Amino acid sequence: MATLKDVRVGESCTVAALTGTGALKRRIMDMGLTKGTSVYVRKVAPLGDPIELTVRGYELSIRKDEAANVEVRDVTAGEVVA
């Protein structure tokens, strides 16, 4: 399954599952990335890390290793999702 790390700039997706465990999973959930949440990838830093997202109406930056623990579905190019 695709992960948030694989989603390109300008694409939207939906969180399908979190693969991390323990404190990492809790941290990702506390940032608002929970199952069913819509995510829009706004931009990626010049060296590829971190990734800036729009989640639940706010901007969030996460590292690629954290994004690799977020499985996604319904990846589409398009507009910002709220």
| Domain of residue 63, residue span | 4-77
pTM of the model: 0.85
Any domain includes 58? yes
Give the count of domains, the chain.
1
Q: pLDDT per residue over 19-70, tens digit each?
A: 988 899 999 999 999 999 999 999 999 888 899 999 999 999 999 999 999 9
In angstroms, rounded to a whole number, what is the distance separating the alpha carbons of residues 40 and 44?
12
Classify residue 82: in a domain, yes or no.
no
Q: What's the confidence (pLDDT) of residue 81?
A: 54
CATH of the domain at 10: 2.30.30.90
Chain CA centroid to CA 78, Å: 15
Q: How high is the pLDDT of residue 77?
A: 81
